[in-house]
Copies of this chain bind each other. A is one copy, B any other.
Amino acid sequence: MGYATQKMAEEKVFKDPVHRYIHVRDQVIWDLVNTREFQRLRRIKQLGTSYTVFHGAEHSRFNHSLGVYEIVRRICDDVFPGRDAWNEGERLVSLCAALLHDLGHGPFSHAFEKVFNVDHEDFTRRILLGDTEVNAVLARVSSGFPQDVADVIAKTYRNKLVVSLISSQIDADRMDYLQRDAYYTGVSYGHFDMERILRVMRPLEDQVVIKLSGMHAVEDYIMSRYQMYWQVYFHPVARSAEVILRKILQRAKELDANGYEFKQPLRHFQSFFDRTFTLKEYLALDESILMTYFQLWMEEDDPILSDLSDRFVNRRLFQYIEFDPGKDFRKLAELAVLFTKAGIDPEYYLVDDSSSDLPYDFYRPGEEGERLPIHLLMPNNEIKELSRSSQIVDAISGKRRTDYKLYFPEELLTDGKKKAVKQQIRDMIREGER
């Protein structure tokens, strides 16, 4: 019996608060979990800076990755077998892609990617195909298997049905994170009847479709998603922490570019400043390392780096006001001038930020990544796009909603120095609150 189909003598289970138990019988999956690249995901939080608002949101990407695997495993083992469109030979590649789909995420990846211009999807691919323990496990299955897994995650795999399990508007990734993030934050959104959705999923040529009888469960899922985005993922206070984080990294990079001598001699960041980093250097980073740097940087002489680091570590965040970039662009410029006058660098202390979401969309060729719509399987075996059957989904379909905020350190505007100009700033800001 080959490695691809090798089962462990006894099933392993992980106790999981969301799915109760996560079941592993395949030796390949067990070996992947035990690689150092996968274990590294324990040191990267699933929700980045959200823990600064929702103190329960301290769970890692390790958690979530196991969860996505478990959902796909249930589909492959309980729902799809025996159906025409499903090819048992795609089971293992589906499980591996589910487990490994977030492998390339770096520490606080949102901010990190922006500042250092890296892309976690690119790193997922490099880990799968490069000189890693994960690659060694996958290559034991077959020489082409690492590439297959990478293709599924990159959505270029030949079998689009497999791709749609992991990446579609109702995929295992989203079904896990909505429930999981709801569980750890403790919010009452994020719940939907996944059991029912799994029961009514059907493989159909190049996609997963949903039987009409499950339409209301899917509506509920889309509403959960909508609520989680606006209540949790886009929470303005978590974004304040994110803004500061980004500005710390930007400041450090700038200081290095300007020849600043850091007191601390560690070199984890050097190759990122220089843009010479290797895969190994990327994998050496995690959120422990970043938190350690931030604490060291609190002792640096540069007042901006030191202040921002202190803010992040000790949660002294920026305040914010609503901000309409179309209407208020002139105001932002004026505020920048006033900040400079007040001795506060607007580059680091006056930051606009936006979050934007499209709750659901039907297929629009050529636009926005051509997201796959959700299709219903009607009783007469026809296929119908969801928003054509669901009044509620139709109502929100294709409607992008964006939230803009302007962040700044309120207490710096009320201390004793430069009183007049600060008063002017405060007046302008107070207007924005009205």
A residues in contact (CB < 8 Å) with B: 13-18, 20-21, 34, 36, 39, 42-43, 51, 54-56, 58-60, 62-63, 66, 183-189, 191-193, 195-196, 199, 216-217, 219-220, 223, 226-227, 230-231, 264-266, 284, 286-289, 291-292, 295, 313-316, 379-380, 391-392, 394-396, 399, 401, 433-434
Residue in B closest to A19 when the chains form the complex, CB atoms: B186
User: Which B residues are CB-close (under 8 A) to A43?
Assistant: 291
CB <8 Å contact, B51 and A55: no
The verdict on A15 contacting B265 (CB below 8 Å), with A223-B220, A399-B391 known, is no
Task: State A292–B220 Cα separation when bound (angstroms).
Answer: 40
Q: Known interface pairs A223-B220, A391-B401, A392-B395. Does A187 touch B183 (Cβ–Cβ under 8 Å)?
A: no
When A and B form their complex, which 8 residue pairs have the shortest distance between CB atoms, in order from nearest?
Answer: A395-B395, A17-B186, A288-B291, A188-B193, A292-B292, A288-B288, A36-B314, A17-B56
Contact A42 B60 (CB under 8 A): no
CB distance from A241 to the nearest CB of B (A): 12
Are the C-beta atoms of A20 and B223 separated by less than 8 Å? Answer: no
Collect the chain B residues with CB atoms within 8 Å of residue A434's CB.
380
Contact B39 A314 (CB under 8 A): yes
Q: Judge whether B62 and A60 touch: CB under 8 Å.
A: no
Return the contact of A396 from the options B36, B189, B392 (Cβ within 8 A): B392
- Given A43-B291, A315-B34, A56 and B55 contact (CB-CB distance below 8 Å): no
Among A55, A266, A287, the most chain B Cβ lie within 10 Å of the Cβ of A55
B20 in contact with A186 (CB, 8 Å): yes
In addition to A184-B184, A395-B395, 10 A-B residue pairs with Cβ atoms within 8 Å of each other are: A39-B314, A58-B63, A189-B193, A216-B230, A219-B227, A220-B227, A223-B223, A288-B288, A289-B291, A392-B392
Interchain CB contact (< 8 A) of A292 among B17, B56, B195, B288: B288
Q: With A54-B15, A58-B58, A292-B292 as given contacts, are A20 and B287 in contact (CB-CB < 8 Å)?
A: no
- A188 lies within 8 A of B183 (CB): no
Query: What would 22 A/B residue contacts be, using CB atoms closer than 8 Å?
Result: A15-B185, A15-B186, A15-B187, A17-B183, A17-B185, A21-B195, A21-B199, A39-B313, A39-B314, A39-B315, A42-B55, A43-B291, A58-B58, A189-B216, A189-B220, A220-B223, A265-B265, A288-B291, A288-B292, A289-B292, A292-B292, A379-B433
- Closest-CB distance, A72 to chain B (whole angstroms): 18
Chain B residues, Cβ within 8 Å of A34: 315-316
Are B220 and A216 in touch, CB under 8 angstroms?
no
* Most chain B C-beta atoms within 10 Å of own C-beta, residue among A20, A295, A316, A434: A295
Given known A-B contacts A60-B58, A226-B392, A291-B288, A188 and B191 have beta carbons under 8 A apart: yes
Residues of B contacting A315 with CB < 8 Å?
A: 34, 39, 42
With beta carbons under 8 angstroms apart, the residue of B21, B66, B216, B227 that contacts A216 is B227
Contacts of A189 in B (CB 8 A): 193, 216, 220
Closest to A315 in B: B39
Kindly list chain B residues whose C-beta atoms are within 8 Å of the C-beta of A291: 43, 286, 288-289
Cα–Cα distance between A265 and B266 once the two chains are bound (Å):
8
Contact of A59 among B56, B226, B286 (CB under 8 A): B56
* Bound complex: CA A193 to CA B15 (Å): 12
Rounded to whole angstroms, the CA-CA distance of A193 and B292 in the bound complex is 38
Closest approach, in angstroms, between the C-beta of A314 and any C-beta of chain B?
4
Tell me if A42 and B51 are in contact (CB < 8 A).
yes
A266 to B289 Cα, complex, angstroms = 13
**Given the complex of chains A and B, what is the CA–CA distance between A56 and B395 in angstroms?**
33
Residue of A15, A189, A284 contacting most chain B CB atoms (<10 Å)? A15
A356 to B266, CA, bound (A): 42
Which of chain B's residues have a CB closer than 8 A to the CB of A56? Answer: 15-17, 59, 63, 184
- Complex CA gap A266/B264 in Å reads 8
Separation of A66 and B51 alpha carbons in the complex (Å): 14
Give Cα A388–Cα B54 distance, bound, in whole angstroms.
29
Chain B residues near A193: list those with CB within 8 A. Answer: 187-189
Contact B284 A295 (CB under 8 A): yes
In angstroms, Cα B399 to Cα A394, docked, is 13
Contact assessment for A186 and B16 in the assembled complex, using a CB-CB cutoff below 8 Å: yes
